[in-house]
Copies of this chain bind each other. A is one copy, B any other.
Amino acid sequence: MHPESMFALWLQADPGSGYLQVVLLISLLSLAVAVLFSRFVIRQDTGTTAMQKISNAIKQGAEAFLRRQYSTISSLAVLLALIIFVGYFFGKGQTTLAIRMTISFVVGSLCSLAAGYFGMWVSIRANIRTASAARSDLNRALQIALRGGAVTGLGVVSLSLLGVGGLFLLFDGLHNPQQVPFQIVAFGFGASFVALFAQLGGGIYTKAADVGADLVGKVEAGIPEDDPRNPAVIADLVGDNVGDCAGRGADLFESTAAENIGAMILGVALLPVFGIYGVLFPLMARAFGLIASIVGVTIVRVKGEEDPMKALNRGYYVTTALAMLGFYIAVRLLLQNNLHLFFAGVIGILTAFLFVYITQYYTEYKYRPVLSIADSAKTGPATVIITGFSVALECTALPVLVISAAILGSYYLGANAGLPGVSPEAAGLYGTAIATMGMLSTAAYILAMDTFGPITDNAGGIIEMSQQPEEIRRRTDRLDAVGNTTKALTKGYAIGSAALAAFLLFSAYIDEVKVHLGWAAERIFTVDIGNVPVFTGALLGAMLVFLFSALAIRAVGKAAQTVIEEVRRQFRSNPGIMQGTSDPDYGVCVDIVTKGALKAMVLPGILPVVGPVAVGVIFRHFAGYNETPVGATSVAALLMVGTIAGILLATMMNNGGGAWDNAKKYVETGKLGGKGSDAHKATVVGDTVGDPFKDTAGPSLHVLIKLLSTITLVAAPLFI
């Protein structure tokens, strides 16, 4: 018998179960590939003893931070798990729901912690191997860094599929597709909760160390970046790992998880048309995306002396093309070959592309925005900040236009997809969900490129600190520059997908509220922002986002100041450090930043959990003058307008920070007086200001948006 027909027969036996098994199988295989990649990395040469000494210091610092961070996060998560269980068990008296919610939350938290941990585990090992390979072979160095990054990418996406798919199977979602997706929402909440702390803590750590090291090192002492004489340099390198690897890993884990669950909930509304397939489609599309990403990562190689970015782009194009093909197959298999829905997915894939280009326009020094910032350096740091801030505000415009077009386009494609028995609104929303799936189908590859950034950054640091020859430094500098670009691109991509996914999560929340109200699915739940309490909820939502950003940025400023004072103290008390005759005490700086970051992450981390719940619970008691419940509706407005504020502020901070960074790099290429000139000093101030924007507050905001969505999903019963 032909193997294809055997597969077909097996699927026909119990199609839903068959597809779910395919998804789980692909996820397991991808995990296996991740293990192979990590073994490939580990097998590589680890360089000289000097290099190993530095690498070990980074490893120790990173692991010590993660241990302490994870114990803080775990305590908070256990507390929250208890609250969820008690709330659903005693408050609502629903035993099954209480148990399943709690299990989902715990599994989601654990998977998120694991995703962050493994991502960092491999990257603190890939950094030295990339550095070592860079001594002889650029292509080999690139491959080590990218495959190291791919361990995070594949691990994150397959863990999220295994988690969501596994819980779906465990709770017998195949025979109970109406309730089970709602029971899994706590998985997304657990993931977001952990991710927010991981991203915040890591983000504060990395930028406090970076800002501190740069201000005393580059500006005051006049020594280069990553100079071994700088006592904060190890803390800075540790920061790249705990912020950019562990933080971002947890962050993208919760993205994929929350969006999968949201899309499955919307799929419930389409049960009359697609049956269980509409619910499973998001998982299937993502699984095909995993295969596409594996192929993409595998084929990347640098030809001769070409720009490494070109090689990475080739991999991205291949991944995109394969993902589109996979998407088409998934639509054919599961969505009755509905071309409207396929094109909604194509819109998502195109949106990803446009975001990548817009981010490049605003953050590369080939174009007007960054050049205008660099030019304003002629008149000092104040004009650098003013011009940069105006660029930061401006760069929200194009992404919002693209997202608006994508949301509207996919909505109307869905609404006109000709789905019998489904309201155009529900079909339209499913269209936006499909677009989100399209945008996220290449997530594993994007995440691999993202983690590539800190690995090459660290490799450059190790080469610099172990004082390798100039020629090798130039090679790691080239990789590092590519890493900076990929980091900026993926942040644009992450916020774009968060924006596109926003609708999917709002709608999931509204669907859930309707279920709790006992409303029929067709009945329209309006979030009338013209209603006074609802408007107030919206205002509070936007405020929450501003306050959260304030706390995140303040934390960096505070921790950085303690680093600066410590470095100055070491320089003062031990003049041998600057002469290179004695070693600075790296450990004290690592300790200071660790403590500062952990302390500072708690308040901003709790705010988005407590805020929406407080609004929902208090506003529930207000009188409403039409039938929609005031509490739940005000929370919906809080969520939606909070999301809008989050999208804008995050875009502003990510791109603004990137633009300041590259204005400095532009001057460092020798323009406007080059390194050491007044213009350079002015752009260093800009870069420093941009640091907490682009690496602490900005990326945390995009987790915050998801956390708002998932906490409201979990706490919805409280608002009614």
Contact = CB atoms under 8 A, between A and B. Distances in A.
A225 to B, nearest CB: 15
Contact of A527 (B383, B524, B530): B530
A29 interface: no
A482 interface: no
A99 interface: no
A685 B505 CA distance: 42
Contacts of A506: 530, 535
Contact of A526 (B393, B526, B557, B644): B526
A539 to B, nearest CB: 5
A425 interface: yes
A386 interface: yes
Contacts of A551: 390, 394
A141 interface: no
Nearest to A396: B546
Contacts of A530: 506-507, 510, 525-527, 636, 640
A386 B647 CA distance: 21
Contacts of A689: 382, 385-386, 389
Contact of A535 (B380, B640, B652): B640
A688 B382 contact: yes
A383 B636 CA distance: 37
A96 interface: no
**How many chain copies?**
2
A419 interface: no
A376 B561 contact: yes
A538 B380 contact: no
Interface residues of A, number: 88
A367 interface: no
A411 B624 CA distance: 11
Interface string A242-283: 000000000000000000000000000000000000000000
Interface string A353-383: 0000000000000000000000010111111
A653 to B, nearest CB: 10
Interface in A633-653: 636-637, 640-641, 644-645, 647-648, 652
Nearest to A693: B389
B394 A547 contact: yes
A189 to B, nearest CB: 21
A432 B215 CA distance: 50
B547 A387 contact: no
Interface string A440-459: 00000000000000000000
Contact of A547 (B386, B393, B540, B641): B393
Given A554-B394, A625-B423, A408 B533 contact: yes
Nearest to A510: B530
Interface stretch (A7-15, A106-114, A145-153, A397-405): A397-405
Given A385-B689, A532-B432, A689-B382, A648 B543 contact: yes
A623 interface: yes
A348 to B, nearest CB: 15
A408 B557 contact: no
Contacts of A407: 532, 535-536
B645 A648 contact: yes
A379 to B, nearest CB: 5
A15 to B, nearest CB: 31
Contacts of A692: 386
Interface in A496-545: 503, 506-507, 510, 524-533, 535-536, 538-540, 542-543
A412 interface: yes
A317 interface: no
Contact of A561 (B383, B424, B550, B622): B383
A685 B382 contact: yes
A291 interface: no
A408 B648 CA distance: 27
A211 interface: yes
Contacts of A684: 382
A372 to B, nearest CB: 8
B423 A382 contact: no
A564 interface: yes
Contacts of A5: none
Contacts of A425: 531, 625
Contact of A391 (B411, B415, B550, B641): B550
A428 interface: yes
A411 B622 CA distance: 11
Given A532-B503, A533-B408, A625-B424, A547 B396 contact: yes
Contacts of A233: none
A553 interface: yes
A493 B392 CA distance: 28
B535 A390 contact: no
A49 interface: no
A626 B530 CA distance: 17
A549 interface: yes
12 contacts: A211-B386, A215-B379, A215-B380, A382-B688, A390-B554, A393-B550, A394-B547, A408-B532, A507-B530, A529-B538, A529-B636, A539-B644
Instruction: Please provide the 10 A-B residue pairs with the shortest distance between their CB atoms, ordered closest to farther.
Output: A393-B550, A394-B550, A382-B688, A390-B554, A400-B543, A390-B553, A526-B528, A527-B530, A411-B532, A386-B557
